[in-house]
């Protein structure tokens, strides 16, 4: 039954693939930071609706969480802003693969050390080869887009 989560992750990745050129186009028209603002504003409105009508959590516990837990919103904002800036310059494929490589590199480090309470998963040759192959793919995608 875990396959459903892999499917959801793939679907989420596809949405990012669609979101990036849409946000890139928006950023070209109104400005990168303004485009990120509009993107997050619309997202905030959708999430407010979902929390209001479908939320089952305890949003009032927000004041009890460690302050570093609040960095996720900041990091997401930076991701979207950097994507909006990059897409018009190097294209969707190069931007997204570079972003995925960044995600993989930091996730391997987080796994290795068990940071943020995650289970430890040691860096091994297979993980390093995987990231190396992704870097190779980035090289060819970038070279093909020049």
Calpha distance 105→103 (Å, rounded)? 6
pTM: 0.83
Give the DSSP letter of residue 114.
Answer: T
For residue 1, the model assigns a pLDDT of: 74
Calpha distance 32→15 (Å, rounded)? 19
Residues of the chain with pLDDT under 70: none
- State pLDDT tens for residues 1-28: 788 988 888 899 899 999 999 999 999 9
Helix (H, G, I), strand (E, B) or coil at 9: helix
For residue 146, the model assigns a pLDDT of: 74
Calpha distance 110→113 (Å, rounded)? 6
């Amino acid at each position: 039954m875990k396959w459903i989560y892999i499917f959801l992750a793939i679907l989420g990745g596809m949405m990012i693939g669609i979101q990036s050129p849409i946000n890139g186009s928006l950023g070209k028209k109104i400005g990168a930071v303004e485009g990120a603002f509009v993107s997050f504003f619309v997202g905030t409105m959708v999430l407010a609706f979902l929390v209001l009508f479908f939320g089952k959590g305890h949003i009032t516990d927000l004041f009890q969480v460690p302050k570093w837990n609040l960095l996720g919103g900041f990091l997401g904002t930076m991701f979207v802003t950097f994507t909006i800036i990059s897409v018009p310059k190097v294209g969707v494929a190069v931007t997204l693969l570079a972003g995925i490589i960044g995600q993989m590199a930091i996730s391997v480090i987080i796994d290795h050390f068990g940071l943020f309470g995650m289970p430890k998963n040691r860096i091994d040759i297979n993980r390093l080869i995987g990231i190396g192959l992704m870097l190779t793919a980035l090289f060819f995608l970038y070279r093909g887009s020049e």
